[in-house]
Structure 1
Amino acid sequence: MLAVSAVQAQAVVEYVTPELATVGQELALTGTVTTARDAALSTQLQGLVADVQVDAGDRVENDQTLLTLDATLAALSLQREAAALEEARTRLAEARRLRDEAQPLAERGSLPQSEYATRRAEADLAAAALARLKAQHAEQAEIVARHQVRAPFDGVIRRRLVAPGEWVTPGQAVLELVALDDLRVDVQVPQQRYRELQTTQAASVLIDALPGQSLNGRIDARVEALDAQARSFLVRVAIDASPDTVVPGMSARVRFALPGAEQAVVIPRDALLRFPDGSSMVWVLDEKNSVRRQPVTLGAQRGERVVVLEGLTADDRVIVRGNETLRSGQAVQARVFAP
């Protein structure tokens, strides 16, 4: 009776033997969505922040005013230069009038040639003074304009780093602006696989925030410089995605199809147990119908089936049903899985 009860208490599981299939080679990598334009904006002058016209999350257009420094003194200097410029125009007009008035008199001999030469020189000096003051006025106008920080491109404000009343200096970041177009996915490719990828090669991109959606991508750039610490190369994959759904900073998975084909073990997806650290395992039956944990390395997923690169052979019996609460060494009742 005890033996019968023990058999009845055993968990019932269903298993499959892995299939051998010819599959194309793939390289799967994780990466991050980035954009070609990502800038930490700073002022061109030191000064007191008078107003910040934007905040984090605001979308802005190219040349839009984002931040303004107190320009009171600079504006007064510009008014002074404008007044001096107007005075110089008046002086030039008067000098030219006197010169032109003296010319016929000098030609008739009614005015000494030295006096006429003096009036011509005074007109030339007035013209030079006007040109100098025009340059000074333009310089001061540029100084006033540099009291504003303007958007260098269309994008969204990622962070606002200062507030009105703060003193800022050139080189100090005051806003972070990121473009929402020209999106790409940056991935680090192990050095041993780098040469297998070619520029313009196609890729399949899965954005983790958009489950079930696959985006078309292509390699846009391969950075021919090794990251000495990670022993990897940077590869950028351009993607065609709407900024309303994909934004810089999102995580992504990229798959590259590689040349050649190979025999691989394929099992149902339901046999897998996945863990937060990215590892995976299956339960395998031994000859006495006891179970053991078997770590596996996965390849591409093909519908309801997954390619196993390492950890299984075609002779293993892999549990598909009843694998949720098993313990290593546990004896079970096993039967063939019937889809």
Structure 2
Amino acid sequence: MSAPSKLIKIVLPLLIVALAVVGMRVLIAGRTEPKKEVRDIPGALVETLAATRGSRTVNVVGTGTVQPFREITLTPQVGGRLVEVSPNFVAGGFFRADEVLLRIEDADYRLAVDQARATLAKAEFELANEQGLADVARREWERMGLSGEQPTPLVLREPQLKNAHASLLSARAALGRAELDLKRTVLRAPFDGLVRAESVDPGQVVRAGTAVATLIGSERAEVVVPLPLAELDWLEVPHPGRSGQGALADIKLTAGDIPHHWNGRLERMLGEVDPQGRMARVVVAVEDPYGLRAKAGARPTLAMGTFVEVTLRGRQLTDVVVLPASALRDDQTVWVAEGGLLGVRPVEVLRRTRDEVVIGSGLDAGDQVVLTYLPGAAPGMKLRPTVRPAATENRP
């Protein structure tokens, strides 16, 4: 390799590097410095609800089981063979008040009535006879002219007369008992209702004092509803010595996906607290549970043993704010959006349920209440609120 070729190989790379360094310095010297931009932080995206003040009726919701208002055990007071059984006298059969349910053979009891009447007639004769003999004895004593001496009761036949009076009273009582036993051979329904259970058939011999059926009333039913003791303060509960009616109630039964409703009223509170759950128990009365007075097919029957939901209408609160339960924060506070910043307001909580909270004071109408939970939230935090439309229905 010649000397010029070696020189080119050595100088050419150095020249390229030098040109690159010069070009880089020229570019650096001629560049313009970029402008600094201040980025605007938009804040946390939250959902808000405008507070509105108004009235709210407090509704207390509970559940319970339907049970009969009246339930009796039908027991004959006389014995004998059953000669008639009503077609309605079957489990689930409905009957009307004073309807004949059972009839016991009454031949023996009719004979007993005839015998008692004969005994009464004989006693009346004996009394009349003794009265006549007593009058004769008194006249004989007066005819003897024993002045100054009083006749003894035995002379005037007073003991015999008392005995005749007693026999007459006994005969009358025996007739009354015989007629009463004859009347008791017919068993009638004491009220409108239905047969819950029965255990007799025509021709069967029944004994006095032996239960033959269980009857329940159909005009009214009751629902026993356990409630926390604190909920009673919101309700009108009848008490002895106080006037006024109990709180209105709505009884709901869901058959399939269709809800059915009955009107009811709080009748009384049972005088005890459940020892296990520490719950008070109130009784709600429901009229016509079987729909006997309603249009056929309007709704299903409210059968005994049915599990239902009961909504009791309580006191009305005025000038309050109702919010979703999730809007209430720790230490009885709510978050509000004020000028795009987070504010914390202490509030007066009048009532809290699973779904909502009722606020007395601490919020003004129009305040934007923050519904979204923000971990690590602090007063003054920047917000980006979106307004939720106000609810139009008055929920319980």
Which residue pairs with 1:61 in the alignment?
97
Which residue pairs with 1:165 in the alignment?
203
Deviations 1:82-114 (A, max 9, x none): 211111112222222333345444422399x78
Distance 1:185 1:21 in 2: 40
1:226 is aligned to 2:263: no
Moved more, 78-87 or 188-197: 188-197
Superposed displacement of residue 68, structure 1 = 2.9
Q: Is the contact made by 1:47 and 1:168 (CA closer than 8 Å) also made in structure 2? A: yes
Distance 1:209 1:172 in 2: 39
Deviations 1:56-77 (A, max 9, x none): 3232214x44223344444433
Which residue pairs with 2:114 in the alignment?
79
- Residue identity opposite 1:38 in structure 2: E
Give the 3-state SS of the residue equivalent to 2:155 in structure 1. helix
Distance change (3 Å), C-alpha of 1:247 and 1:258: closer
Distance 1:231 1:47 in 2: 50
Question: Aligned-residue CA RMSD in angstroms?
Answer: 4.2
1:180 is aligned to 2:229: no
**1:1-339 mapped onto 2 (5 Å cutoff):** 26-53=59-86, 54-56=88-90, 57-62=93-98, 64-109=99-144, 117=155, 119-169=157-207, 172-190=210-228, 193=231, 196-199=234-237, 200-208=246-254, 214-228=261-275, 232-239=279-286, 243-245=292-294, 247-249=302-304, 251-257=307-313, 262-264=322-324
Moved more, 238-247 or 171-180: 238-247
Distance change (3 Å), C-alpha of 1:209 and 1:251: farther
Distance change (3 Å), C-alpha of 1:174 and 1:110: same
Distance change (3 Å), C-alpha of 1:248 and 1:40: farther
- Residue identity opposite 2:95 in structure 1: R
Moved more, 207-216 or 232-241: 207-216
Distance 2:82 2:137 in 1: 56
Superposed displacement of residue 21, structure 1 = 8.2
Give the 3-state SS of the residue equivalent to 1:153 in structure 2. coil
Distance change (3 Å), C-alpha of 1:37 and 1:100: same
Distance change (3 Å), C-alpha of 1:65 and 1:254: same
Distance change (3 Å), C-alpha of 1:43 and 1:195: farther
The structure with the larger Rg is 2
Distance 2:186 2:49 in 1: 66
Could you tell me the TM-score, scaled by structure 2's length? Answer: 0.51
- Residue identity opposite 2:282 in structure 1: V
Distance change (3 Å), C-alpha of 1:25 and 1:154: closer
Which residue pairs with 1:283 in the alignment?
none
Distance change (3 Å), C-alpha of 1:170 and 1:31: farther
Q: Which runs of 5+ in 1 are unaligned?
A: 1-16, 267-296, 301-312, 317-339
Superposed displacement of residue 244, structure 1 = 2.5
Superposed displacement of residue 229, structure 1 = 5.0
Give the 3-state SS of the residue equivalent to 2:225 in structure 1. strand
Q: Is the contact made by 1:49 and 1:168 (CA closer than 8 Å) also made in structure 2? A: yes
Deviations 1:13-49 (A, max 9, x none): xxxx998587876433233444432222222345543
Distance 2:50 2:274 in 1: 36
Could you tell me the TM-score, scaled by structure 1's length? Answer: 0.58
Aligned-residue identity in percent: 25
Q: Is the contact made by 2:137 and 2:155 (CA closer than 8 Å) also made in structure 1? A: no
Distance change (3 Å), C-alpha of 1:231 and 1:166: farther
Superposed displacement of residue 79, structure 1 = 2.6
Give the length in aligned residue pairs: 256
Distance 2:166 2:208 in 1: 34
Distance change (3 Å), C-alpha of 1:142 and 1:24: closer
Deviations 1:270-289 (A, max 9, x none): xxxxxxxxxxxxxxxxxxxx
- Residue identity opposite 1:203 in structure 2: A
Distance 1:78 1:38 in 2: 33
Distance 2:220 2:48 in 1: 42
Superposed displacement of residue 256, structure 1 = 2.9
- Residue identity opposite 2:194 in structure 1: V
Superposed displacement of residue 154, structure 1 = 3.3
Give the 3-state SS of the residue equivalent to 1:173 in structure 2. coil
Distance 1:237 1:18 in 2: 41
Superposed displacement of residue 168, structure 1 = 3.8
Q: Which runs of 5+ in 2 are unaligned?
A: 1-45, 238-245, 295-300, 327-352, 357-369, 374-396
Distance change (3 Å), C-alpha of 1:148 and 1:234: farther
Superposed displacement of residue 146, structure 1 = 3.6
Q: Is the contact made by 1:58 and 1:157 (CA closer than 8 Å) also made in structure 2? A: yes
Distance 1:19 1:29 in 2: 31
Higher strand share: 1
Distance 1:37 1:223 in 2: 16
